[in-house]
Chain A
Amino acid sequence: MSAQDFRHPLKRARGLGSAQSGLGYWWSQRVTAAVLVVLGLWFVAMVLSLLHIDFATARAMVAKPWNALFLILFVVTAFWHVTLGLHVVIEDYVHTRWREVVLRMVVTFLAVLGALAGVLAVLRIVLRA
C-alpha cells in the first residue's frame, strides 16, 4: 500500500476544484456586459456622427468632455470584458497547462496595452483641442 492511499480525500481534491474566485469573475463579466450594452450603442452612434467630417471637426467632437469620458469608459470596459471572455475561451480549449497560462498572460498584456493606448490617445486629443 502506497503512502498516497492514507491521504485524506480533501488533500487530493485541493487544486482540482473551485479556485474560489468564480463568483467575482462571473459578476465582473456580467456588469461589464451590461455597461457595454449602453456604451456599445453610444459608440456606434458616435462613429456614425463622425462620418464625412473633416479632421479638425472630428477631433473637436472627440474632445468634448462627455464624448471623451464615454470613449475612455468604452475602451477600458471593452478591453476588460475582452480579457474576461478570452480567458474563458482559453481555459475551455487549451488543456496544456503552460500554454494556457502563457496565452492568458499574452491576452491580459495585449488588453492592458490596448486600453492604455486608447486612453492615452483620447487624452492627447483632449489636451490638443
Chain B
Amino acid sequence: MADTQRPLSPHLQIYKWQVQMVTSILHRATGIALAAGLFLVVWGLLALAAGPAAFAYFKNFVGSAPGIILLLGWSWSLFYHLCQGIRHLVQDAGVGYEIPQFVCSSWLAVLTSLVLVALVWAYALFVGGVA
C-alpha cells in the first residue's frame, strides 16, 4: 500500500482497547459520517428553495424508516462530535492530560452526547415525530 520510505506508526492491533482510544476513533468516524450528513442539510435547503413538491419528497424521505435510522445516527454523531470536539479544544489549551482526567473526560463526552441526543428525540416525539 505505502509507496514511501517513511516509517509508519503501529496501528490498532498493537494496542489494548480502552475508552480514550475508542473515543478518538469514534471522533473520526462520526466526523466522516457528519460530512455525508451535511449533504442531507443541503438537500433540505435545495428542496425548500425548489417548491412544495420537492420539499414534500424530502420530508417523505426523512420520515421513512431508512431516513429515521440515518437521522438517529447523524444526530448522535453531531452531539458526540460536538462534545468530543469541546474536549479536544480544552486539551488543545493544555488542560486535562492526567490519565484519570483523560479517561473521565472521555466518558463525560460519551454520556453527555447520549443525554443530548435523547433529549432532542424526546422533544421530536413529544411534538409528534420528525416528518
Contact = CB atoms under 8 A, between A and B. Distances in A.
Nearest to B1: A95
A72 B2 CA distance: 40
Given A40-B78, A96-B2, A33 B85 contact: yes
A51 B31 contact: no
A124 B128 CA distance: 30
A33 B45 contact: no
Contact of B3 (A37, A40, A96): A96
B82 A40 contact: yes
Contacts of B56: 55
Contacts of A128: 49
A75 B46 CA distance: 12
Interface in A63-118: 71, 75, 78-79, 82, 85-86, 89, 95-97, 114, 117-118
B48 A96 contact: no
A40 B79 CA distance: 9
A85 B34 CA distance: 11
A71 B35 contact: no
A59 B8 CA distance: 51
B4 A121 contact: no
B85 A51 contact: no
Interface in B31-53: 31-32, 34-35, 38-39, 41-42, 45-46, 48-49, 52
A108 B31 CA distance: 16
Contact of B89 (A30, A51, A95, A124): A30
B120 A82 contact: no
Contact of A59 (B2, B48, B127): B48
B69 interface: no
A48 B124 contact: yes
8 contacts: A48-B120, A62-B48, A71-B45, A75-B42, A85-B31, A85-B35, A89-B31, A120-B49
Closest 8 pairs (CB-CB, A-B): A95-B2, A121-B45, A124-B49, A121-B49, A82-B35, A118-B42, A121-B46, A55-B52
